[in-house]
Amino acid sequence: MDILALEAKSQNGAESEKKSTPKPKAKPPKKAKRIVYFEVEIVDLKTKEKLLLLDKVEPTATVLDIKALFHKSYPKWYPARQSLRLDPKGKSLRDEEILQTLPVGTTASFYFSDLGPQLTWGTVFLSECVGPLILYLMFYFRLPFIYSPKYDFTTSKHWVVHLACMCHSFHYMKRILETLFVHRISHGTMPLRNIFKNCGYYWCSAAWMAYYINHPLYTPPYYGQQQINTGLYIFLFCQVGNFSIHIALRNLKSQGSKVKKIPYPTKNPFTWIFWLVSCPNYTYELGSWIGFTVMTQCVPVAFFTLVAFVQMTVWAKGKHRSYLKEFRDYPTLRSSILPFIL
């Protein structure tokens, strides 16, 4: 009986304790954050005419998103053809820039200018490389109307002429394959009008070199086979080095990523030049043409090498400045294109 009484008492005590224990109050639902939308006005840069007013643009929208919205109203101006800037005299905004991070209020004005018809950089690179490859071979096979009719479809008696054709063809075939399978081009497009300038330079230079190297009166290098071999070794060494740098740069970031990183040497010895140079791909490219110049002993090749060196130096210096600006810990020992010199 005592045991039953104790059990009943304990049950009654538990029930009374449950009744007396207050239930926890439910937390009120969090209020959703209020989104502040932007109002974007797009104005023609030249005429200052208002072209479009975009209402309720999300603050996380990118410049590319705004271009896409503008494209819906003006189909002829696709995003790659548009240039948007905050100031009429300022620089064009990058596609990845976010609206809420720009120095504007909730009402923003963008100045639009038409960049003209555009081509992808892949198309540009292929056009630049296919032309020299075909033109050089036309001179090598001595097609009619190039030299005297008696030399039509003849071959040169000098071995260096055939070697030069193989090296020149190898260089541009390598560039074509790299464009198709190696390069990850960060730049979107280039104006159509520029392709005529670029292709004109590369095509005319290739034709000029090929004309003299494959000319029936061409004379081989002064120091003979030793000079030819020296130039060939320099050319091949630098071609392998150039390819190694392109592979290292490709592996630096994943497909579609726009995160920039500092390139460093890898296990490949050809990449160790990164310790001294910011743009070793241009260094190796210059070395290839120096080797080709030594091998052929041709004035047009030397002139092309000099002009290429000047242009690549401009590109390398610009890339070097960009690295220094973007990365505070960028190696200070590096030069732009030539170690300790330039």
Residue-wise pLDDT tens digits, 310-331: 999 999 999 999 999 999 999 9
Burial of 83 per CB tally in 10 Å (0-12, 13-18, 19+): middle
Does the pLDDT of residue 263 top 80, yes or no? yes
Residue-wise pLDDT tens digits, 7-49: 444 455 545 554 455 555 666 666 556 777 888 999 999 988 9
The residue to which tokens 């224990």 are assigned:
21
Residue-wise pLDDT tens digits, 60-111: 899 999 999 999 999 999 998 999 999 888 888 888 888 888 888 888 889 9
pLDDT at 28: 63
In percent, how much of the chain has pLDDT > 70?
88
Where in the chain do CATH 3.10.20.90 domains reside? 38-116
Q: Report the alpha-carbon distance of residue 58 to residue 39 in Å, rounded.
A: 9
> CATH number of the domain at 38-116, please?
3.10.20.90
pLDDT at 55: 85
pLDDT at 3: 44
Q: Report the alpha-carbon distance of residue 116 to residue 191 in Å, rounded.
A: 6
Positive or negative, the Cα torsion across 104, 107, 113, 115? positive
Does the pLDDT of residue 268 top 80, yes or no? yes
Nearest CA to 292 among 283, 282, 302?
302
